[in-house]
A and B are shown apart, each in its own frame.
Chain A
Amino acid sequence: MKGMRKLKKAGMILSMVVGMIIAACMSPAAGPEVVESDEAAAPAMQEVQSTLSIVQERGKLVCIGNAQLPGFGFLDSEGNFSGFDVDYCRAIAAAIFGDANALEVRPATAKERFTILSSGEGDVIIRNTTWTMSRDTDLGMNFGPTTFYDGQGLMVRKESGVATLQDLQGASVCVVTGTTTELNLADQFAAAGVDYEAVVFEDFDQSFTAYDEGRCDAVTTDKSSLVSRQTTLTVPADHVIINVTLSKEPLGPAVRHGDDQWFDIVNWVVYATMLAEEHGISSQNVDSFMDSNDPNIRKLLGLEGDFCAKIGLSNAGCFVDVIKQLGNYAEIYDRNLGPDTVFDLPRGLNSLYTDGGILYAPPIR
């Protein structure tokens, strides 16, 4: 009998794993299987201790990240994690410990990231994760402020001079069939009244190879993915991602349901980088603001109000540490994706609301 039960248990575990793998291999449509394994696991993870105290006891933040996305997460030649998402991991570590290096990045694939977070092996996911309703609800995630507004984009050859959708009149576009990408493409071009010819492929590799060989005038997928795929083209510099967005992909940090203090910390660290840019505070000039009279700046820099204590951090200058070590949003963006990098990705939506973007951080008061 006992053996039978063991076998049954083994069978159960097996089916869960197989489900996960199938889910990992399939499109987002396979999501519910992952959800099931998460649901089954959830009761065992009754958390008594707060995430913050676990992190402080451990002495470092464990950030679930990506190690294979150019510009967002990778190892540099010295073996240090680097990239836009990694910088936000470092920002949270800087706020908590005053040291951006009190951090372990736990690389994860797209599908395992949520399971790793729910199992408590990581504290926060910052891994080009799109904020969607099902993830927010079914998967038990809380999404922090969007750090990068991604969206489906279009890549064209520089020499074509294409800058808008209208310029693509009659063009052929390489796209992967059976995806939301294909549907978005049809919708957006129809809405813009532009005729085009879709050249469909089974997977990204074929689609990009075809584009590289000149079989289509443009290729489409998520912008951050286009950025990384651009590198696989024969002459990456001959191509440009135009400033047009066909779908919504808000990427940001995610934490487990049920720990509001931790959620607040992640939220306000991200907001602090945006507020710093808004007030013109950067890693270079932050010290010169220490005698500022502007109450907004004084609160951000911990000179009045003791706002860091409100998110459970004893270090009154928690945001100062973030700004000093990582810089404001613009610095983080430019360092990883900006004009001085090979990507030269226009900020577009990721500009402050004052510059025509949609980054709008609530005030600290």
Chain B
Amino acid sequence: MTTAAGTPSDRSVLPVTERYTVLGWLRRNLFSDLFNSLLTIVAIGFVIFIARLLLRWAFVNAEWGVIPANFNLIMRGQYPSAEAWRLWLIIHLLGAVVGMMWRLISGQFSGAARVLVAIPFVLMLIPFFAMETRLNLLITAAASGVGYLFAGSLYIQRRGRATAYLLLVYLVVMLILLRGAGADEGLMPPVQPILWGGLLLSLLLAFFGITLSFPLGVLLALGRQSKLPAIRVISVVYIEFIRGVPLISLLFMGQVMLQLFLPDGFPLVDRVLRALVAITLFSAAYTAENVRGGLQSISRGQYEAAQALGLSTFQSTIHIILPQALRAVIPVLVGQFISLFKDTTLVALVGIFDLLGIARTIIANPDWLGTQPEVFAFIAVLFWIFSYSMSYASRRIEQRLGVGER
């Protein structure tokens, strides 16, 4: 008790030199009294014990050879090697788009752009990459530079809007490159989505799951608040039905039962698309509930003020209500999107080779028996990198938008 009460005053009398030294910090925070000192020592011992076990495994026992040997599989699944150049082109174009965005919306984006442009250089340090891979990474970095210069040479007035169009065009080009077109012997033979796999598929499922479920979720949230009974009931039933069912059951239904309900002779819907639809429908219901929280946090005054200005319901929703409501729920939404990203691994249970599915088949390869810990550790790190990036980016956006401040 005495220490708790005494700490602040103790600190205030410490001389400046001691207040900010490492020793001073240690004494105050880790060794302030006998009990805390004991606790610190025990905790340090425990951490060292665990870390030693982990490090010994990672550097002595683990057979990391499984990762380079199956790296292509982990990255792109069964996507044909002969068509891998299309994936690289997608990455190069992404580099160019990042470069252009850096120039177009420099104020808000330059920090992120610096990090993104640095990524190819960091990846080049990975020891087992082939020369070809490094060359491709170099091209990506160069593409960013070209994009930056190119955007600088343009005269564009509405830069925000130009960026939005740029991203839209990029998405379309990306899908065409991925999917291919024309004859089987042509320049870009079609690659069935079921052959997309590994990290590529996990990212695609997460990205399209998020971007498609978000507008749907916002509409559902607005629908739930609507004064029109039909829309409200439909929204409520939809949200509550989906939230009452586990995602895996939706996936099972899409994969196994959908074909039973469709009329005979109906063409097979691609299985990856079915999984994506299930993920989107599922995520939309949760997005709706999160957005509803934001909508309900807007005070009545805002609605009334918008009305007093003569704005229609549509206008006030778009310009007054939604921007504030969404801003308020960014942390919740990002949390949900991160969990959606991780939930995409459930598709591994219905025979689709996402990151987890690929990991499970790699450990079934007789050449790499007994490498479960290495493979799963590696994909865990991949997941962590992407999840943490999302959470870090969201924190930066929150800071910029001043969430939590009025």
The tally of residues in B whose CB lies under 8 Å from a CB in A reads: 44
CA distance A116 to B188 in the complex (A): 31
Does B73 make an interface contact (CB < 8 A)? yes
Does A17 lie within 8 Å of B361, measured CB to CB?
A: no
Decide if the interface of chain A is mainly helix, strand, loop or mixed: mixed
CA distance A120 to B248 in the complex (A): 22
Q: Mark A15-38, 1 if CB is under 8 A from B, else 0.
A: 011101100000000000000010
Does A67 make an interface contact (CB < 8 A)? yes
Which of A68, A109, A343: most chain B Cβ within 10 A?
A68
Q: Mark B260-300, 1 if CB is under 8 A from A, else 0.
A: 11001000100000000000000000000000000000000
Hey, which chain B residues are within 8 Å of A82, CB to CB?
A: 365
Does B253 make an interface contact (CB < 8 A)? yes
Hey, which chain A residues are within 8 Å of B80, CB to CB?
A: 79
CA distance A68 to B364 in the complex (A): 5
Does A67 lie within 8 Å of B366, measured CB to CB?
A: no
Hey, which chain B residues are within 8 Å of A230, CB to CB?
A: 369
Does B248 lie within 8 Å of A21, measured CB to CB?
A: yes
- The minimal Cβ–Cβ distance linking B355 to chain A, given in whole angstroms, is 13
Does B360 lie within 8 Å of A67, measured CB to CB?
A: yes
Does A76 make an interface contact (CB < 8 A)? yes
- The minimal Cβ–Cβ distance linking B64 to chain A, given in whole angstroms, is 15
Does B364 lie within 8 Å of A228, measured CB to CB?
A: yes
CA distance A44 to B264 in the complex (A): 8
Q: Mark B226-251, 1 if CB is under 8 A from A, else 0.
A: 00000000000100010001101100
Does B366 lie within 8 Å of A77, measured CB to CB?
A: no
Does A71 make an interface contact (CB < 8 A)? yes
Does B259 lie within 8 Å of A121, measured CB to CB?
A: yes
Does B78 lie within 8 Å of A79, measured CB to CB?
A: yes
Does A119 lie within 8 Å of B259, measured CB to CB?
A: yes
The residue on A at minimum CB distance from B66 is A77
Hey, which chain B residues are within 8 Å of A231, CB to CB?
A: 363, 369-370
Which of A10, A70, A73, A78: most chain B Cβ within 10 A?
A70
Hey, which chain A residues are within 8 Å of B246, CB to CB?
A: 21
Does A266 make an interface contact (CB < 8 A)? no
Q: Which of B64-105 contact A (CB under 8 A)?
A: 69-70, 72-73, 77-81
Does B160 make an interface contact (CB < 8 A)? no
- The minimal Cβ–Cβ distance linking A209 to chain B, given in whole angstroms, is 13
* Given A69-B364, A75-B78: A21 and B369 interface contact (C-beta under 8 Å): no
- The minimal Cβ–Cβ distance linking B87 to chain A, given in whole angstroms, is 13
- The minimal Cβ–Cβ distance linking B248 to chain A, given in whole angstroms, is 7
Does B362 lie within 8 Å of A70, measured CB to CB?
A: no
Q: Which of B347-369 contact A (CB under 8 A)?
A: 349-351, 353, 357-358, 360-367, 369
Does A70 lie within 8 Å of B260, measured CB to CB?
A: no
Does A305 make an interface contact (CB < 8 A)? no
Does B369 lie within 8 Å of A236, measured CB to CB?
A: yes
* Given A41-B260, A67-B353, A231-B370: A77 and B365 interface contact (C-beta under 8 Å): yes
Q: Mark A33-60, 1 if CB is under 8 A from B, else 0.
A: 0000100010011100000000000000
* Given A41-B260, A107-B351: A74 and B248 interface contact (C-beta under 8 Å): no
- The minimal Cβ–Cβ distance linking A16 to chain B, given in whole angstroms, is 7
CA distance A240 to B77 in the complex (A): 33
* Given A67-B364, A74-B364, A74-B365: A119 and B260 interface contact (C-beta under 8 Å): yes
The residue on B at minimum CB distance from A48 is B264
- The minimal Cβ–Cβ distance linking A283 to chain B, given in whole angstroms, is 20
Hey, which chain A residues are within 8 Å of B72, CB to CB?
A: 77-79
Does A194 make an interface contact (CB < 8 A)? no
Does B253 lie within 8 Å of A17, measured CB to CB?
A: yes
Q: Which of A279-303 contact B (CB under 8 A)?
A: none
Hey, which chain A residues are within 8 Å of B69, CB to CB?
A: 77
CA distance A75 to B366 in the complex (A): 10
* Given A75-B73, A75-B78: A70 and B369 interface contact (C-beta under 8 Å): yes
- The minimal Cβ–Cβ distance linking A178 to chain B, given in whole angstroms, is 24
The residue on B at minimum CB distance from A119 is B259
Does A75 lie within 8 Å of B369, measured CB to CB?
A: no
The residue on B at minimum CB distance from A337 is B366
Does A169 make an interface contact (CB < 8 A)? no
CA distance A69 to B363 in the complex (A): 9
Does A341 make an interface contact (CB < 8 A)? yes
Q: Which of A304-359 contact B (CB under 8 A)?
A: 341-343
CA distance A77 to B366 in the complex (A): 11
Hey, which chain B residues are within 8 Å of A341, CB to CB?
A: 366
Q: Which of B26-76 contact A (CB under 8 A)?
A: 69-70, 72-73
Q: Mark A70-105, 1 if CB is under 8 A from B, else 0.
A: 110111111110100000000000000000000010
Does B118 make an interface contact (CB < 8 A)? no
Does B255 make an interface contact (CB < 8 A)? yes
Hey, which chain A residues are within 8 Å of B249, CB to CB?
A: 14, 17-18, 21
Does B156 make an interface contact (CB < 8 A)? no
Does A220 make an interface contact (CB < 8 A)? no
Which of B73, B78, B249, B370: most chain A Cβ within 10 A?
B370
- The minimal Cβ–Cβ distance linking B264 to chain A, given in whole angstroms, is 8
Does B256 lie within 8 Å of A119, measured CB to CB?
A: yes
Does A171 make an interface contact (CB < 8 A)? no
Hey, which chain A residues are within 8 Å of B361, CB to CB?
A: 67-68, 74-75
CA distance A21 to B349 in the complex (A): 11
- The minimal Cβ–Cβ distance linking B133 to chain A, given in whole angstroms, is 16
* Given A44-B260, A67-B351, A107-B351: A75 and B253 interface contact (C-beta under 8 Å): no
Hey, which chain A residues are within 8 Å of B316, CB to CB?
A: none
- The minimal Cβ–Cβ distance linking B364 to chain A, given in whole angstroms, is 4
Hey, which chain A residues are within 8 Å of B303, CB to CB?
A: none
Does A68 lie within 8 Å of B259, measured CB to CB?
A: no
Does B77 lie within 8 Å of A17, measured CB to CB?
A: no
Does A108 make an interface contact (CB < 8 A)? yes
CA distance A82 to B255 in the complex (A): 23
Q: Which of B77, B363, B365 contacts A76 (CB 8 A)?
A: B365
* Given A67-B361, A68-B364: A342 and B369 interface contact (C-beta under 8 Å): yes
CA distance A74 to B365 in the complex (A): 6
Does A115 lie within 8 Å of B257, measured CB to CB?
A: yes
Hey, which chain A residues are within 8 Å of B237, CB to CB?
A: 7
Q: Provide a sorted-by-A list of 29 A–B residue pairs whose CB atoms are within 8 angstroms.
A: A17-B252, A20-B256, A21-B249, A44-B260, A46-B264, A67-B361, A68-B363, A69-B364, A74-B366, A75-B78, A75-B353, A75-B361, A75-B362, A77-B72, A77-B365, A79-B77, A79-B79, A80-B78, A107-B357, A109-B351, A112-B255, A116-B255, A119-B257, A119-B259, A228-B364, A230-B369, A231-B369, A232-B372, A236-B369
Q: Which B residues lie at the A interface, using CB under 8 A?
A: 69-70, 72-73, 77-81, 194, 197, 237, 241, 245-246, 248-249, 252-253, 255-257, 259-261, 264, 268, 349-351, 353, 357-358, 360-367, 369-370, 372
